[in-house]
Amino acid sequence: MKEPHPLTRRTMLSGAAALLATAGRVHSQVPGTRVATLDWALLETLLAIGADVVAATELRQFRQVAVEPEVPEDVADLGLRGTPNFEVLRFARPDLIFNSNFYAWADPLMSRIAPVENHAIYRPGESPHALAEQATLAIGERLQLPAARRMVDELAARLDRYRSLFAKGDGRPVLPINLGDARHYRVFGSDSMFGEVLQRTGLKNAWTGATSYSATAPVGIETLASMPDAWIVLIPPHPEDAFRALTGSAFWKALPAVRENRVLTIGSVNPYGALPAASRFADFLAEGFSHAGNG
């Protein structure tokens, strides 16, 4: 595929870059309340709005999966999200701990260390994007960080711009998936954050089956043949051996999407993310379609 005109790519991505730069300036100039969290969606939100994060979970994996926002080196790693190290949390001396419904069991234990505020972004039957907006604004107001409102407004405007851009494409549905192994994948439905980005940018999700506010359980790779008109969007991280085995297989090479260059392999995005993940996924779609000449 040929490279897009540099101004086109710069136009698409400049909003995200400016937002991250603004968040960094807030963090460096206004060292406010020291905060901690167990939840990755809340972690990326806190980092993006410039909060003074002192402790969070599974930071090495977060850096690999979520990638952005960047985690400062001095943030204490609390270990696994399901079994956090409360002694490390205590030594980090947070003034306030943000938690989600996923880890609400830890609220009583953490409340002995610092006050706990709970914000849900993923709940069955509710929009994760709308909940992420609510959580971002509530956290921003609590910490007195105006970057929260700017992030919400900027992302809404950018998704609208992408809707206009994608309307010029081929109108095909999009199938966002993550490989489990060479014979199975997870697919992100309309009630996932990725599915909501598709909807808000005017794209149709090729997956019409049931999901549970994120991705389905592993689906057999053979079902890809039942969606011949779709763009396939591969969302890392994938097991390397599975990726090589699948993309080298005769089945994969025979798929219409593969033969017709309708496969986008994007960068890694947190599948249970908040607005920063939505922003990153939307930017990857815009960049991928511009490379492919579909928008």
Alpha helices in the chain (DSSP H): 6-29, 40-48, 59-65, 86-92, 107-110, 128-143, 147-166, 193-200, 240-247, 250-254, 256-259, 275-292
Indicate the SS3 state at residue 34. strand
Indicate the SS3 state at residue 97. strand
Indicate the SS3 state at residue 52. strand
Check the CA dihedral 55-59-62-63 and report its sign: positive
When mean pLDDT is compared across 26-30, 37-41, 93-97, 147-151, the lowest value belongs to: 26-30
Q: How confident is the model at residue 213 (pLDDT cuts 50, 70, 90)?
A: low
> For 86-122, how does the pLDDT look when each residue is reduced to its tens digit (9 = 90+)?
999 999 999 999 999 999 999 999 999 999 999 999 9
Nearest to 182 by CA among 251, 264, 276: 251
pLDDT at 149 over 50: yes
What number is the average pLDDT over the span 185-192? 90
Contact status, residue 262 vs residue 230, Cβ threshold 8 Å = yes
What is the distance between the alpha carbons of residues 71 and 73, in angstroms, rounded to a whole number? 6
Question: Rg of the Cα trace of the chain?
Answer: 20
Nearest to 121 by CA among 53, 62, 41: 41
Nearest to 275 by CA among 45, 19, 120, 66: 45
pLDDT of residue 232: 97
Q: Determine the longest span between alpha carbons in the chain, in angstroms.
A: 58
pLDDT of residue 31: 54
What number is the average pLDDT over the span 46-54? 98
Contact status, residue 259 vs residue 200, Cβ threshold 8 Å = no
Indicate the SS3 state at residue 125. coil
| Domains defined for the chain, CATH in brackets | 6-154 (3.40.50.1980), 170-292 (3.40.50.1980)
The whole-chain average pLDDT of the chain stands at: 88
Q: How confident is the model at residue 295 (pLDDT cuts 50, 70, 90)?
A: low
Task: Give 209-216 contacts, CB < 8 A, sequence gap 24+.
Answer: 211/187, 212/124, 213/122, 213/123, 213/124, 213/125, 213/126, 213/128, 214/122, 214/188, 214/271, 214/272, 215/178, 215/186, 215/187, 215/188, 215/189, 215/271, 216/186, 216/187, 216/189
Please calculate the CA angle 277-86-113 and round it to the nearest 5 degrees: 95
Please calculate the CA angle 61-246-240 and round it to the nearest 5 degrees: 25
